[in-house]
């Protein structure tokens, strides 16, 4: 009988126990897959005795098998905005982003970029993302169609934006509600796809539009919400001007019905104590975007503060504000943001924040994020000989933490040798 797929190699994933997050590491491991799902992962000696008659074993030597990365905040229409020179957030939005996003009214252009974007995610080992689309309904249709063809677990939504942007990009209160609603009906929970209501950020929405966004959440309780919060000081001052009757930036979202356990707020650098408290009370989630924050010069997030309030966080690339699709880069720069704050980011924690923690923030941890039995088999195979420097440095690694730290500081897409989506090989370098 050969109805299982068997992969031998070093295997790493994160698990949660009563004492917290722990690395599960099998230096010589076996991963057993049946169809689209994980059956079991464990030591080779033990599992091969039970499963070797079930199929032939593929051996990945000098490799690390781990779950596919999960990027909890990214913008697919900003594929070509990446690395735009020399601006802080609001200027960068006007000068580059709003110009490029207008091209997505053309479905053919949008479809082409969606394919390039997904290619780039996959070659970097990212198998799931939550992405902003453009404000045009068709930009969401082509994105979901492209993800569906590849069997990828993806979350996306139409940007809602009815002021402070070029007229060509703006929707209005009624159309943004109606378009979002019909996209939810068409795509939400279709196979591996799900929807996120996506008001861009408070400055580009009227209060009326945010109220309609909240109405969508009430009508569709299992859709997510994605937006931006407290990324940049000018942005925060602007929100104060636009929403003078609210206590703070988070209060705008909170009072209008957009906070909660299914809401993911990007950035959250400059939170006040009141905001931290309300975010925790509402179980709102946070996507931290170090590459973007450093590229745009936005500031340094405070991971320890967020954690001290018990707020769930994940890491994210925020391409095109972020200048890399690689979650290795994201972890590298998250480590340095923490160093500048005077503490370390533990490497196991860094990988947790790009896999299982991100799955939890996106509410998909029952399906992906680690190799628990019956989860969907999205995994990547990293080549530990990918560069001479990594190969040499690996010889000095004494444990899994050392090994992971080396990968997160020195790694990039050259490490990603193979990518499997739902048990099928989707990419070989
Ligand atoms: N705030 C509002 N829109 C955006 C965006 O597209 N990127 C980033 N980084 N911040 C935003
Ligand atoms: Zn963003």
Q: What is the pLDDT of residue 1?
A: 53
Q: What is the pLDDT of residue 14?
A: 98
For residue 410, the CA-to-ligand 1 centroid distance in Å is: 28
Name which residue sits closest to atom 7 of ligand 1, judged by CA.
321
Which of 80, 98, 321 for mutating ligand 1's site (highest number of atoms within 8 Å of CB)? Answer: 321
For residue 292, the CA-to-ligand 2 centroid distance in Å is: 8
> Does residue 245 contact residue 284 with C-beta atoms inside 8 Å?
no
Residue 64 token pair: 């690390």
For residue 92, the CA-to-ligand 1 centroid distance in Å is: 9
Helices (H), 354-429: 356-361, 388-394, 400-410
Which of 83, 201, 297 for mutating ligand 1's site (highest number of atoms within 8 Å of CB)? Answer: 201
Shared domain for 52 and 96, answered yes or no, is no
**Ligand 1 atom at minimum distance from 320 CA:** 7
pLDDT digit of tens for each residue in the chain (429 aa)?
568 999 999 999 999 999 999 999 999 999 999 999 999 999 999 999 999 999 999 999 999 999 999 999 999 999 999 999 999 999 999 999 999 999 999 999 999 999 999 999 999 999 999 999 999 999 999 999 999 999 999 999 999 999 999 999 999 999 999 999 999 999 999 999 999 999 999 999 999 999 999 999 999 999 999 999 999 999 999 999 999 999 999 999 999 999 999 999 999 999 999 999 999 999 999 999 999 999 999 999 999 999 999 999 999 999 999 999 999 999 999 999 999 999 999 999 999 999 999 999 999 999 999 999 999 999 999 999 999 999 999 999 999 999 999 999 999 999 999 999 999 999 999
* Cα separation, 196 vs 133, whole angstroms: 10
Q: Of the candidates 83, 187, 87, which has an alpha carbon nearest to the alpha carbon of residue 133?
A: 187
List all residues 6 or more positions away from 19 whose beta carbon is below 8 Å from its beta carbon: none
Ligand that comes closest to the CA of residue 226: 2
Question: Where a domain ends, among 310, 327, 361?
Answer: 361
13, HSE (Cβ side, Cα atoms, 13 Å): 31
Which of 202, 242, 318, 324 for mutating ligand 1's site (highest number of atoms within 8 Å of CB)? Answer: 318
Q: What is the pLDDT of residue 2?
A: 61
Name which residue sits closest to atom 8 of ligand 1, judged by CA.
321
List all residues 6 or more positions away from 134 whose beta carbon is below 8 Å from its beta carbon: 77, 101, 102, 104, 105, 110, 158, 159, 169
Ligand that comes closest to the CA of residue 89: 1
* Cα separation, 142 vs 99, whole angstroms: 20
* Cα separation, 15 vs 102, whole angstroms: 42
- Cβ burial of 185 (10 Å; 0-12, 13-18, 19+) is exposed
Q: What is the pLDDT of residue 103?
A: 98
* Cα separation, 153 vs 399, whole angstroms: 32
What separation, in Å, do the N-terminal and C-terminal C-alpha atoms of the chain show?
Answer: 30
What are the DSSP calls for 274-342, one per residue? Answer: HHHHHHHHTT-EEEE-HHHHHHTT-----HHHHHHTT--EEE---TTTSS-S-HHHHHHHHHHHHHHTT
Count of domains forming the chain = 2
* Cα separation, 32 vs 8, whole angstroms: 9
Question: Where a domain ends, among 321, 343, 361?
Answer: 361
Angle (CA) 364-368-370 rounded to 5° is: 130
Residue 12 token pair: 């790493």
Length of the chain: 429
Instruction: State the sign of the Cα–Cα–Cα–Cα dihedral 254, 187, 78, 96.
Output: negative
> Does residue 385 contact residue 406 with C-beta atoms inside 8 Å?
no
For residue 123, the CA-to-ligand 1 centroid distance in Å is: 24
Shared domain for 59 and 73, answered yes or no, is no
Ligand that comes closest to the CA of residue 73: 2
* Cα separation, 141 vs 162, whole angstroms: 20
The DSSP bridge pattern shows strands 20-34 and 5-17 to be antiparallel
- Cβ burial of 394 (10 Å; 0-12, 13-18, 19+) is middle
> Does residue 312 contact residue 285 with C-beta atoms inside 8 Å?
yes
Question: Where a domain ends, among 309, 333, 361?
Answer: 361
**Ligand 1 atom at minimum distance from 296 CA:** 9
Shared domain for 185 and 84, answered yes or no, is yes
Name which residue sits closest to atom 9 of ligand 1, judged by CA.
321
* Cα separation, 329 vs 327, whole angstroms: 5
Shared domain for 283 and 333, answered yes or no, is yes
Residues within a 6 A CB radius of ligand 1: 75, 89, 93, 97, 200-201, 228, 231, 292, 318, 321
Helix (H, G, I), strand (E, B) or coil at 247: coil
**Ligand 1 atom at minimum distance from 292 CA:** 9
Ligand that comes closest to the CA of residue 322: 1
Q: Of the candidates 305, 307, 306, 329, which has an alpha carbon nearest to the alpha carbon of residue 316?
A: 329
Shared domain for 152 and 52, answered yes or no, is no
Q: What is the pLDDT of residue 3?
A: 84
DSSP 97: I
CATH code: domain of residue 117: 3.20.20.140
User: 294 is in which domain, residue-wise?
Assistant: 69-361
Shared domain for 273 and 404, answered yes or no, is no
Shared domain for 406 and 258, answered yes or no, is no
CATH code: domain of residue 60: 2.30.40.10
- Cis-peptide into 31, omega within 30 deg: no
Residue 150 token pair: 């590849």
Shared domain for 46 and 64, answered yes or no, is yes
Shared domain for 107 and 60, answered yes or no, is no
DSSP 96: I
Name which residue sits closest to atom 11 of ligand 1, judged by CA.
228
**Ligand 1 atom at minimum distance from 78 CA:** 6
For residue 54, the CA-to-ligand 1 centroid distance in Å is: 49
* Cα separation, 372 vs 365, whole angstroms: 10
**The pTM of the whole model exceeds 0.95:** yes
Per-residue CA distances from 427 to 240, 285, 323 (Å)? 47, 31, 23
Shared domain for 334 and 268, answered yes or no, is yes
Chain centroid to Cα 101, Å, comes to 20
Shared domain for 83 and 42, answered yes or no, is no
**Ligand 1 atom at minimum distance from 132 CA:** 6
Per-residue CA distances from 255 to 157, 243, 260, 267, 294 (Å)? 22, 12, 11, 20, 31
Ligand that comes closest to the CA of residue 97: 1
């Amino acid at each position: 009988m050969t109805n299982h797929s068997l992969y031998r190699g070093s295997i790493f994933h994160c698990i949660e126990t009563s004492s917290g997050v722990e690395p599960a590491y099998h230096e010589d491991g076996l991963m057993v897959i049946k169809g689209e799902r994980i059956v079991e992962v464990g030591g080779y000696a033990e599992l091969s005795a039970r499963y070797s008659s079930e199929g032939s074993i593929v051996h990945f030597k000098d490799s690390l098998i781990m779950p596919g990365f999960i990027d909890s905040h990214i913008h697919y229409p900003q594929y070509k905005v990446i690395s735009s020179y020399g601006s802080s957030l609001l200027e960068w939005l006007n000068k580059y982003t709003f110009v490029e996003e207008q091209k997505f009214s053309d479905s053919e252009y949008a479809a082409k970029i969606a394919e390039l974007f997904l290619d780039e995610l996959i070659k970097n080992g990212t198998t799931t993302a939550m992405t902003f689309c453009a404000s045009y309904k068709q930009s969401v249709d082509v994105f979901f169609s492209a993800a569906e063809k590849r069997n990828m677990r993806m979350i996306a939504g139409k940007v809602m934006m009815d002021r402070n942007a070029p007229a060509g990009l703006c929707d209005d209160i009624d159309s943004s509600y109606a378009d979002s609603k019909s996209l939810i009906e068409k795509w939400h929970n279709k196979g591996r796809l799900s929807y996120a209501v996506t008001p861009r950020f408070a400055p580009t929405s009227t209060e009326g539009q945010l109220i309609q966004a909240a109405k969508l959440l009430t009508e569709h309780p299992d859709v997510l919400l994605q937006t931006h919060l407290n990324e940049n000081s000018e942005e925060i001052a602007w929100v104060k001007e636009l929403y003078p009757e609210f206590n703070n930036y988070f209060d705008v979202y909170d009072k209008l019905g957009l906070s909660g356990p299914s809401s993911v707020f990007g950035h959250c650098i400059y939170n006040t104590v009141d905001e931290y408290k309300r975010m925790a009370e509402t179980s709102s989630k946070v996507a931290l975007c170090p590459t973007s924050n450093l590229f745009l010069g936005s500031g340094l997030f405070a991971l320890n503060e967020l954690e001290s309030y018990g707020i769930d966080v994940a890491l994210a690339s925020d391409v095109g504000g972020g200048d890399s699709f690689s979650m290795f880069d994201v972890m590298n720069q998250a480590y340095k943001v923490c160093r500048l704050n005077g503490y370390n980011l533990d490497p196991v924690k860094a990988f947790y924040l790009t896999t299982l923690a991100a799955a939890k923030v996106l509410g998909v941890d029952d399906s992906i994020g680690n190799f628990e039995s019956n989860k969907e088999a999205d995994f990547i195979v990293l080549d530990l000989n990918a560069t001479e420097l990594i190969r040499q440095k690996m010889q000095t690694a004494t444990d899994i933490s050392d090994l992971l730290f080396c990968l997160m500081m020195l790694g990039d897409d050259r490490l990603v040798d193979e990518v499997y989506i739902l048990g099928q090989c989707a990419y070989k370098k």
